[in-house]
Amino acid sequence: MDKRDEPIIKALMRESEEFRREMEAHERYERILQEFNRRPHLTPDEEMERKKIQKLKLAGKDRMARMIAAYRKAHPHTAGGGGS
């Protein structure tokens, strides 16, 4: 997701409960990862949890990217939609 996706993201945040849930989860995972990254050392269990959160965050980002692409395809004249 990049800057040109911002209008689509705003539209999806208004229109799609699923997208809002994904964005909230993405932000929650980011906060958790930041907390792990502040620690100088992680236990093996914490390291496993950090990797699990990273995978969940990436999977959510992939789902949001697919929703953005679908929105762009359905609304070709939206800013960032690639229309002329």
- Delimit the domains of the chain by residue range: 3-74
Asked if the model's pLDDT at residue 83 lies above 50, the reply is no
Q: Which pTM was predicted?
A: 0.83
Write the single-letter amino acid at 40: P
Residue type at 1? M
Q: What is the DSSP letter of 20?
A: H
Task: Tell me the average pLDDT across 53-78.
Answer: 94
Label residue 80 left, alpha or beta by phi (over 0 means left) and psi (-120 to 50 means alpha): left
Q: What does the block give as tokens for 8? A: 């689509």
Model pLDDT for residues 9-60, shown as the tens digit of each residue = 999 999 999 999 999 999 999 999 999 999 999 999 999 999 999 999 999 9
Output the six-digit token pair for 1: 């997701």
